[in-house]
């Protein structure tokens, strides 16, 4: 079921699938909800979870008011959406985020810990300034796999994001609040690719102390689109994460 969440001038498009414990799932920069739906529906199908796939502002079918072209404004809208979901369902919310979506999930864990019951981050971006990231060098033996994974991700239905919105967002990409002092006791799952040349894996080691209940996995022979490269590992680890969240 497709629907819209309104927050001021912003209209967030989202798709709700199934019923049960709410799970909000966020895509990466310039992506859309279909890319995440194609990954997680095979994992969640038949389970007692309401999957809420969101198009971030200026992406997918969400609108693009330029006042929301900053990570701070996007975070505020998502926090309000999560709070409303939790109140409507009388249930805490699970969060999943990929890349830029992982950056937002990390911040939401600090902003709304009382509204959440667990979180997952796939190849999370933590350093907004690209030049400040510690990245592995590209290796020739990975190029074919990287191209194949990127093609699969793109073929999942990504729509063209609003260029003007993304250009302004790039100038306000970093959150104003520091997130390097977070201490979150929620069950977490963090997946990283050793050959991820987009966000890397070295800077994300700070998440080991930020999330004392995290399963932190660094996968060899996996890049930024690791969810496309190792779907069987993602499925098994997601199942384990859900069990840990259910036991809370």
pLDDT at position 146: 86
Asked whether the beta carbons of 101 and 27 are under 8 A apart, the reply is: yes
pLDDT at position 156: 78
Residues 6+ apart with CB under 8 A from 22: 49, 50, 52, 85, 86, 89, 91, 93, 94
The rounded distance, in Å, linking the Cα atoms of 25 and 98 is 8
pLDDT at position 61: 96
Output the pTM of the full model.
Answer: 0.96
pLDDT at position 194: 97
Domains of the chain: 2-246 (3.40.50.1820)
pLDDT at position 79: 98
User: Splitting the chain (248 residues) into consecutive groups of 10 residues, what average pLDDT does each group show?
Assistant: 96 97 97 95 96 97 97 98 96 98 97 96 97 95 88 80 96 88 93 97 95 97 95 97 93
pLDDT at position 150: 85
pLDDT at position 181: 76
The C-alpha angle 114, 187, 125, rounded to 5 degrees, equals: 90
Paired tokens of 73: 């404004």
pLDDT at position 133: 98
Asked whether the beta carbons of 212 and 244 are under 8 A apart, the reply is: no
pLDDT at position 247: 85
pLDDT at position 1: 85
pLDDT at position 73: 98
> Which residue from 223, 247, 202, 245 is spatially nearest to 98, judged by alpha carbons?
223
């Amino acid at each position: 079921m497709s629907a819209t969440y309104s927050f001021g001038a912003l209209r967030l498009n989202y798709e709700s699938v199934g019923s049960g414990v709410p799970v909000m799932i966020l895509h990466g920069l310039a992506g859309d909800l279909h890319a995440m739906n194609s990954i997680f529906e095979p994992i969640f199908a038949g389970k007692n979870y309401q999957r809420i796939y969101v198009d971030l502002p200026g992406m997918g079918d969400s609108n693009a008011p330029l006042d929301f072209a900053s990570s701070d404004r996007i975070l505020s809208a998502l926090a309000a959406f999560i709070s409303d979901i939790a109140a409507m369902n009388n249930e805490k919310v699970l969060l999943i985020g990929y890349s830029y979506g992982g950056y937002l999930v990390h911040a939401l864990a600090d902003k709304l810990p009382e509204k959440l019951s667990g979180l997952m981050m796939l190849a999370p971006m933590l350093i907004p300034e690209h030049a400040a990231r510690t990245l592995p060098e590209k290796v020739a033996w990975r190029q074919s796999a990287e191209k194949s994974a990127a093609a699969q991700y793109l073929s999942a239905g990504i729509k063209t994001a609003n260029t003007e919105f993304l250009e302004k967002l790039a100038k306000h990409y970093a959150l104003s609040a520091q997130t390097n002092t977070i201490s979150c006791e929620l069950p977490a799952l963090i997946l990283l690719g050793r050959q991820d040349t987009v966000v890397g894996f070295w800077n994300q080691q700070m998440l080991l102390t930020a999330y004392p209940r995290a399963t932190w996995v660094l996968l060899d022979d996996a890049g930024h689109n690791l969810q496309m490269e190792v779907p069987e590992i993602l499925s098994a680890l997601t199942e384990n994460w859900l069990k840990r969240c259910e036991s809370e």
